Amino acid sequence: MTVVLLISGSTRSASTNSAALRTVRAIAPGGVETTWYDGLIDLPAFSPDDDGTGHPSVVALREQLSRADAVLLCTPEYAGTLPGSFKNLLDWTVGTGDLYEKPTAFLIVAAPGRGEGAAMTLTSVLGYVGADVDPQTCVRLPVARDAVGPDGWSPPPNSAPARSKRSNAWFGTRLASETAAANEALAVPV
């Protein structure tokens, strides 16, 4: 069983990034177990003075990272770069090398032409921490705000609020096909 830790860079309740990851979790193939990181908002601001002191939220993050065989990130762009809270999470991993040689990928769900700053910064930071990033696994898959249903999934357009299974099927198909197409043609390299 391969354990993939899903980390959303958004703390917004109706987040498009979290919706994309929830759907990934629902459509994960056999042999893949996903785990969900939900501690972003509780992480203290990084301080080198506290790096070895074992703050519970930091310990929990590191344990989840340690248990994961791979990590999938999905983050919005704020002010041309990563949200501060998400960069703060990444800063907590620098000294302890939690992402070093860890297979890591990311999705960008921003509209076409947006989110470039987040993708560039994330690529740079992941390179700095020595994560094992295959660029072909990092793809763009736009998810509009109004595509996120009340259940936190991305329902089919023009439908009544979808039940989770229908949402999963639709988004999963789209995710699979667009990811495959992106990988094949490298049409939307991040």
Ligand X SMILES: Cc1cc2nc3c(=O)[nH]c(=O)nc-3n(C[C@H](O)[C@H](O)[C@H](O)COP(=O)(O)O)c2cc1C
Say how far residue 155 (Cα) sits from the centre of its chain: 19
Number of residues in contact with ligand X, rule: CB under 6 A? 14
What b/e readout covers 140-160, taking b as 16+ CB neighbours within 10 angstroms?
bbbbeeebbbeebbbbeeeee
DSSP strands (E only) in 50-145: 70-74, 104-108, 139-140
- Taking CB under 6 A as the rule, does residue 41 contact ligand X? no
- Taking CB under 6 A as the rule, does residue 104 contact ligand X? no
What b/e readout covers 96-122, taking b as 16+ CB neighbours within 10 angstroms?
bebbeebbbbbbbbbeeeebeebbebb
- Taking CB under 6 A as the rule, does residue 79 contact ligand X? yes
Positions 15 through 34 that interact with ligand X (CB under 6 A): 15-17
* Residue number, 41 or 185, with CB nearest to ligand X: 41
Stretch that binds ligand X, among 52-60, 84-92, 110-118, 134-142 (CB under 6 A): 110-118
Separation of alpha carbons 165 and 146, rounded Å: 18
- Taking CB under 6 A as the rule, does residue 110 contact ligand X? yes
Stretch that binds ligand X, among 70-78, 85-93, 100-108, 125-133 (CB under 6 A): 70-78
* Residue number, 62 or 87, with CB nearest to ligand X: 87
- Taking CB under 6 A as the rule, does residue 95 contact ligand X? no
Separation of alpha carbons 25 and 19, rounded Å: 10
Site pattern 128..167 for ligand X (x: CB under 6 A):
----------------------------------------
Separation of alpha carbons 94 and 109, rounded Å: 26
Question: Would you tell me which residues interact with ligand X (CB under 6 A)?
Answer: 10, 12, 15-17, 76-80, 110, 114-115, 117
